Amino acid sequence: MKKSKFLLFAASVLLVASCGKGGGRPTFGDNEYPVMTVGTSSAAMQTTYPATILGVQDVEIRPKVSGFITKIYVKEGQTVNAGQTLFEIDNVTFQAQVRQSQAAVNTAQSQVNTAKLTYENSEQLFANKVIGDYELQTAKNSYESAKAQLAQAQAGLASAKENLSFCYVKSPARGVVGTLPYKVGTLVSGSNTLTHVADISSMEIYFSVNEKDLLNFAKSEGGANGAVAAFPPVKLQLADGSIYGHEGKMMTISGVIDQATGSVQMKALFPNPEHLLKSGGSGTIIIPNDKNSAIVIPQSCVMEVQNKKFVYTVSKDNKAIYTEITVDPQNDGKTYIVTDGLKVGDKFITNGITKLSDKMEIVPITPERYQQKIDEQAKAMSASDIVNAMKK
């Protein structure tokens, strides 16, 4: 029985105390309301945007020639260097083309040698006036033609060797190998993506901001380039809700607005020494927005009506004035940063706002005195007061 009475009393005290913190208020009988004076303080706010994570170089690996895969030299997740061979494609046909082209070069070289000897001999005969201009020019033309045929054969050999080299698919950059969807024996061509190689030593984080936010960034720093240079370090929230251990730096702002979404793409660069971030992942970019000399008020003293926000300010003759305010859309869930409607030195009512009406006369007291009167009233409650409080 004693325990039940204690719980009933405790619940009544909590009920009264909650009235002091929310929209209601205890009944003091003297029309007293807690009033605060508007001042300024520093506010640490942040803005978040969904983001996509990509390696600084994410290369799609495709073969340049068609054929069957004969060897796979790497495994998924393996780190490779630029120029390292990843795949080998059946190259028997291409080797034959190289040998055939080499034979053509050898034949053309022999013809050049013969034509050269003929031309040199013709020069001597011409000098001794044994042959005329026509015979000399003919020998010279044959020599030039043989050299042209040799150059053509050499070009064919170079092309054949290049095609043969395409059978050895190499990594164009240092990075980590992605999935390997094709196995040895699979017929592939240029339309098939054999794998991806992503350089994940650093990661590029892409996110989009709306046009209004972009204009705010640009105007405050004298343009997009200035905004990028002045951007504070940004943070990355991972898919599991944790904050990535390294801060990122803003790199670029796209110069084109997406007409479908009205947004602009931005890019930040994050170091990835532990290779925790993977290309293709997702997260949330966190941009700090620290404000000095900001007007910060509790959310509990703000009423919202039809997407507009109001507070009760106090006039010089101690009347409650229903006042519309504008707040920063980003908040911490407990306070608002007021951007319009209040100025330093204004007074506003912090509690009991649901009991107020416009131009109602009040007796202002300090929030500390207000809380003290709540505590005093709770201690002085009679049994009937408890019952009445529980009925409310």
pTM for this predicted structure? 0.54
CA distance 11 to 259: 56
Taking the domain 2-43+292-391, which CATH number applies? Answer: 2.40.420.20
What residues does CATH 2.40.50.100 cover in the chain? 57-188
Least confident of 12-21, 85-94, 360-369: 12-21
Residue 290 confidence (pLDDT): 65
CA distance 319 to 317: 6
Average pLDDT over residues 123-133: 91
Average pLDDT over residues 31-40: 88
Domain 57-188 has CATH 3.30.300.130: no
Selected residue with higher pLDDT from 292 and 375: 375
What residues does CATH 2.40.420.20 cover in the chain? 2-43+292-391
Report CA torsion sign: 34, 38, 43, 49. Answer: positive
Asked if pLDDT for residue 41 goes beyond 60, the answer is: yes
Please state whether beta strands 319-327 and 41-61 pair in parallel, antiparallel, or not at all (unpaired). unpaired
pLDDT tens for residues 244-285?
A: 999 999 888 887 888 888 888 889 999 999 889 988 899 999
Taking the domain 47-56+200-288, which CATH number applies? Answer: 2.40.30.170
Asked if pLDDT for residue 17 goes beyond 50, the answer is: no
Burial of 390: CB neighbours in 10 Å, binned 0-12, 13-18, 19+: exposed
For the chain, what percent of residues have pLDDT higher than 90? 51
Confidence of residue 374 (pLDDT cuts 50, 70, 90): confident
What residues does CATH 2.40.30.170 cover in the chain? 47-56+200-288
Confidence of residue 6 (pLDDT cuts 50, 70, 90): very low
CA distance 245 to 53: 15
